[in-house]
Amino acid sequence: MKIERVCVVGGGTMGNGIAHVFAQKGYSVTLVEAKQELGDKALATIARNMDRQVAKGALTAADKDAALARLKTATTIAEAKGFEFAVEAVPERLDIKSAVFAELSKHGAPGAILATNTSSIPIGEIAKSAADPSRVIGMHFMNPVPVMKLVEIIRAKATSDATTEMTRALTESLGKIPAVANDFPGFVSNRVLMPMLNEAIECLREGVSTKEDIDTIMKLGMAHPMGPIQLADYIGLDVCLAIMEVLDKGFGGVKYKPSPLLREMVAAGKLGVKTGAGFYEYPKK
């Protein structure tokens, strides 16, 4: 099956980045958002991020215009009817994702592949709502999507070899590098990353060091592009907490216990960059 038409469900940080790269690489994309204003906001973000690429010489103005012309928004999945590939990037709740997969199953072309960008919900659970779980797979993009090279591909037990191979090839066509993991809690990326961020937050809570020095130690000492406290703010502290809870539930034991300070920050509504404050302040520009 040749993949030309792609449906992206959800236009938030991850969804707009995913729609951006598919459109940039020549796919016809329908971006589905619950309300037209949200779809318009996602399109404006994509245009702004493409402008950054144009300013850096990574994209020509003509290619930007062509990419935006391949991108349309819709408020229902039915309007994207006939897509060969879908990526779901709605909020991290199984009930919401299940409803999306049931709907996607009705409107795809025969044989369409349904991917989820979930960072923590088991792919096998989401696949239960699809008509054919062998065509369901995890396609976990990293933030910021237009910049990060990795796509973690997650196979559930029912995912077929053909689905995995098509998703791998599609990932490469986006100029990204696929790496495959099986459907365990947190997959590989978040099972390794989140305990490190959580431990950095514990260092702060216990007074081992200041947030600035924790970040400097990991940035300059381990050549990470961002320090762990800064990265937790960037990902969203609510997302970090939700992933730690999935690891804690899945594996138990001390090493996956969410930091009490992380819980406090989330309870206080300080979620990081997206709310204007987390461990650091992010004044509106």
- Interatomic CA distance for residues 235 and 188, integer angstroms: 17
- Interatomic CA distance for residues 38 and 34, integer angstroms: 7
Tell me, yes or no, if 49 is annotated catalytic: no
Smaller CB separation from ligand CAA, 33 or 152: 152
User: Given 33, 84, 88, 152, which residue is catalytic?
Assistant: 152
Options 159, 190, 198, 259; binder of ligand CAA; rule CB under 6 A: 190
Instruction: Tell me if 157 contacts ligand CAA by CB under 6 A.
Output: no
Shortest Cβ 80–ligand CAA spacing (Å): 23
Options 12, 144, 178, 185; binder of ligand CAA; rule CB under 6 A: 144
- Interatomic CA distance for residues 279 and 201, integer angstroms: 9
Instruction: Tell me if 142 contacts ligand CAA by CB under 6 A.
Output: yes
Shortest Cβ 219–ligand CAA spacing (Å): 10
- Interatomic CA distance for residues 26 and 185, integer angstroms: 33
**85 burial class (0-12, 13-18, 19+ CB within 10 angstroms)?**
buried
Options 91, 207, 221, 225; binder of ligand CAA; rule CB under 6 A: 225
Residue nearest ligand CAA (C-beta atom): 119
User: Given 119, 120, 198, 259, which residue is catalytic?
Assistant: 119
Options 5, 22, 38, 49; binder of ligand CAA; rule CB under 6 A: 49
Contact (Cβ atoms closer than 8 angstroms) between residue 151 and residue 177 = yes
Site mask, ligand CAA, residues 63-102, x = CB under 6 A?
A: ----------------------------------------
Tell me, yes or no, if 140 is annotated catalytic: yes
Smaller CB separation from ligand CAA, 3 or 8: 8
How many residues bind ligand CAA (CB under 6 A)? The answer is: 19
Looking at this protein, which amino acid is placed at residue 233? Answer: D
Q: What is the dihedral of CA 277, 283, 284, 285, to 10 degrees?
A: -140
Paired tokens of 145: 């999507």
Interface contacts to ligand CAA, rule CB under 6 A = 49, 52-53, 56, 58, 119, 142-144, 146-148, 189-190, 225-226, 231, 235, 239
